[in-house]
Structure 1
């Protein structure tokens, strides 16, 4: 039997509500305090295994390393009001850096390693980190980006440059403060835990604050010491932060790797380490299902496979489910600003296109353009309320007000609807809505059709502006390995599958090796469109 989320509906206010939150830990404890105490309960259990650096740390070793990092920060005079920067891969000692920050009540601002010097400079100029942890590979880029900031200490995690940085080994050999204890947060659990980055598909990413709220643990309370967790994402993703926190709190074994995502390597890790808990993005799922080794992969150890951050075709979901030993592939919906998942679907067979029901502690509603609440099966903007403090976008009150209204509702910018059973369906981003000959349509309408083609692995549809017709649909398509799919096949397939001429690919299609993605792995529709136009111009 699948897990069932209990939801209620207020027909007058047209609001869906999740069940009440059950407190598993004292409500005044910070995330750092919980991790500190839980890590001491199982000191000899394996905490993490790095498959690329070939290191193994038991929990007391990771706990000790985290206390050394925290003690070093204290010796340098860092306060709870300070910020620590992180721009690094999933290497052996990055979890200790994160826990050390948690123990000190110091928020870290985590950036993606793919960011260029200019983006790093703009983001760190917002938060002004006192100390930055990075790989030696990024040292020069980080150093140059922070030249105008005073007293910034750069710590390198590996591949240390000659002079200029503090090697992490120096910190890990420093003493632990006598009678070390995690701090009590000056602002309680409303205090900022971490600062991540928005997707950045439309410009410089915003610095998104995440509080010490317990909400981030929703959906993870079934984890036990027998679980083996894996998430390829780094600490600048909400899923990377989630995995780091839950592995510390629930005493799981975490598998980490610092390589560029490779689906074959991923499936080998699942088989070798008997991974039980996996969280991925749709693009990673598509890459797995698209490689020849997938049909022989043994994914039977997985008992919870969560994915989110974008849409995955039903066909890809069916392929993944065919290799699992239980019904454990769950589509979840959330966003960085919420700091947690908002909905999760435990009912694929009954509701295959839904992102599920609202999780405990949250409320959700659909609103019209005029801000009026809408009922079941009425399309509008998805709004979610967690009733908790949010510090907003760091240093950006104007954008904060756009994202969250005075009644504490997050305005997601996603268009969707609830059905009569309380299952949420995400249709499209508001800003992605297109218009052809004055008829509104969504790229996903066409993407759904194309994804049904047996030879298609991934697809991105966008509009190309025409002064006569408006937005003419075009597509960039990734074909499955070993197939002979061509652009005309795609155009013909769409034409045959819809009577709505405005949904035809009037601007055509191209076959690409991969879609262009933002640093957090999401498909960058604008950049993919720009590439499409370049290709068409050369033809």
Structure 2
């Protein structure tokens, strides 16, 4: 529900100190899965173009997508995928047939576990070892990464984009014969069945597999979408925004635009001009890249009616510049959410008047602000944000302890974010309570890099932190204390990390300083904030 200015409505209960989004009733029966809902939508107007791949120059009609997805579903049935514990692993980019694989899993009620293809092989192995998929699907270019994983899990391999000799491809799956009376699988309370598993990490950096149900929350926040919309999201299926884009296109029948190329301002502008994108959800860093690109102009972006961004902080000046290229206020929106909740928690339609806010709460979402003693706080008081959405959550796959830490017995998710609500019921995020950082769209934990640096025989102590810029995010930087009598320099440390860590986003792009001591708190623990402050002060003076 929106107010007269087009913003979500949020109310505050001063007695309970709880903020609540509008109460709305779902249109869908609780027994339906999202796969069944999408199956019905794809049956209408079968010759209408459903998906365009800009990078591959392919087009698929609704009928073609429906048949391809149904054949994936039938193939899974023939392979014995009948239980909720039967899992398909996916490591893939946004190519032509990824959607059919995703929808096919949904049609069959088969959970898929999506992992980012840019991760290092060790992390990929750790993540898939949690869920132990029986079938692993990847692009041909990632076959070498996945071959060892498949062997360790005794899993079959399937290529989605490209082919490998001796490995089944999705094009062969599309040759599966469909029964004339084919229908998606149905279940009692399909809404509660696990739909997908995405990746997250705890404060220790240990990978966790986040289950997502067939909750309507994942798409109903975008019910304003229509058949005339052209949707685009650069994120792959392992990101919540990528999953939201896949599902909303299927539910609302929009035209789905994809590209396997990573986001760049030039690429995005070209697609906007050629395909008239009306809805896009991108990272906060992408907004900064666009706004500060000298080649951008309003004419290129005139088709945009909904430009959502999430996943980071954006400077007010950047928002103002970005808005100047759009057709009006309310197009540029800052969304806040988390994978565990499987939805946008809030959305700011008023970035022109409340640029530092992530907006008001979405329908059927409740939130509390809690201090360190567990006391609920009122407006303009900073505390940890607890969130509740009334939907089933199966927790972290195979990790009951972490599940109980994330969601308490009363159903409140402990987000780990510090924030507050202002007097107009707009939510503001102050900082992460946890140490997670994000650089060029990839999450990492400082302690992961600290453990590597600590392997250097010359190092006594180390503290890693993020140096933020709005284009790339938090570049890892380190303050290092050498052991007595040992010599170590910044280049030694940077080279050691680059040698030991295969992925570039965990390298020390923020720099290294050799210091005599690290700032510590009263209990003797390294004070990361104080160490970072000393680092920045030293850089400023130099």
Q: Please say whether Structure 1 and Structure 2 have the same fold, judged by a TM-score greater than 0.5.
A: yes
Q: How far did 1:263 drift?
A: 1.6
TM-score normalised by L of structure 1:
0.81
> Which of 405, 414, 425 is equivalent to 1:411?
414
**CA pair 474-155 structure 1, distance change in 2 beyond 3 A:** closer
List structure 1 runs of 4+ shifted beyond 3 angstroms: 199-202, 470-480, 533-537
Q: Residues 209-252 of structure 1, C-alpha deviation per residue, up to 9 Å, x if partnerless?
A: 11101011132111111000000111000000000001011111
Q: Residues 127-164 of structure 1, C-alpha deviation per residue, up to 9 Å, x if partnerless?
A: 111111110111121111231222x111101231222x
1:198 partner SS: strand
1:195 partner SS: strand
**CA pair 473-62 structure 1, distance change in 2 beyond 3 A:** closer
Residue matched to 1:431: 434
**Corresponding position: 1:141 with 2:145:** yes
**Corresponding position: 1:241 with 2:223:** no
Alpha-carbon distance in 2 for matches of 1:263, 1:31: 33
The aligned runs of 1:456-535 (5 Å cut-off) are 475=467, 477=469, 527=506, 530-534=508-512
1:147 partner SS: helix
Residue matched to 1:495: none
Residue matched to 2:477: none
Q: How far did 1:200 drift?
A: 7.3
Residue matched to 1:18: 21
The answer (yes or no) to whether the contact 1:347–1:356 under 8 Å persists in 2 is yes
Structure 2 portions without partners, runs of 5+: 438-445, 451-461, 473-497, 516-541
Q: Residues 47-85 of structure 1, C-alpha deviation per residue, up to 9 Å, x if partnerless?
A: 000011110001010001000110111111111321011
Residue matched to 1:439: none
2:404 partner SS: helix
Q: What is the RMSD of the two structures over their aligned residues, measured on CA atoms?
A: 3.0
Residue matched to 1:254: 256
Q: How far did 1:206 drift?
A: 1.2
Residue matched to 1:453: none
> Which of 95, 99, 102 is equivalent to 2:106?
102
1:206 partner SS: strand
The aligned runs of 1:49-448 (5 Å cut-off) are 49-81=52-84, 82-150=86-154, 152-163=155-166, 165-185=167-187, 188-198=190-200, 203-295=205-297, 298-327=300-329, 328-431=331-434
Residue matched to 2:484: none
> Which of 4, 21, 26 is equivalent to 2:7?
4
The answer (yes or no) to whether the contact 2:209–2:397 under 8 Å persists in 1 is yes
The answer (yes or no) to whether the contact 2:288–2:471 under 8 Å persists in 1 is no
Q: How far did 1:291 drift?
A: 2.4
Q: How far did 1:38 drift?
A: 0.9
Q: Residues 321-344 of structure 1, C-alpha deviation per residue, up to 9 Å, x if partnerless?
A: 111112211111100000000011
Alpha-carbon distance in 2 for matches of 1:353, 1:88: 34
Q: Say which is worse superposed, 20-29 or 318-327, in terms of deviation.
A: 20-29
Alpha-carbon distance in 1 for matches of 2:207, 2:377: 31
Alpha-carbon distance in 2 for matches of 1:347, 1:37: 35
Structure 1 portions without partners, runs of 5+: 434-442, 444-461, 481-515
1:246 partner SS: helix
Q: Say which is worse superposed, 192-201 or 357-366, in terms of deviation.
A: 192-201
Alpha-carbon distance in 2 for matches of 1:113, 1:239: 16
Q: Say which is worse superposed, 420-429 or 4-13, in terms of deviation.
A: 4-13
2:113 partner SS: strand
Q: Say which is worse superposed, 171-180 or 55-64, in terms of deviation.
A: 171-180
The answer (yes or no) to whether the contact 1:42–1:251 under 8 Å persists in 2 is no
The answer (yes or no) to whether the contact 2:198–2:240 under 8 Å persists in 1 is yes
2:207 partner SS: coil
Alpha-carbon distance in 1 for matches of 2:308, 2:341: 17
**CA pair 249-139 structure 1, distance change in 2 beyond 3 A:** same
Q: How far did 1:318 drift?
A: 1.3
Alpha-carbon distance in 1 for matches of 2:288, 2:204: 24
TM-score normalised by L of structure 2:
0.80
1:294 partner SS: coil
The answer (yes or no) to whether the contact 1:157–1:168 under 8 Å persists in 2 is yes
The answer (yes or no) to whether the contact 1:117–1:144 under 8 Å persists in 2 is no
Q: How many residues align?
A: 465
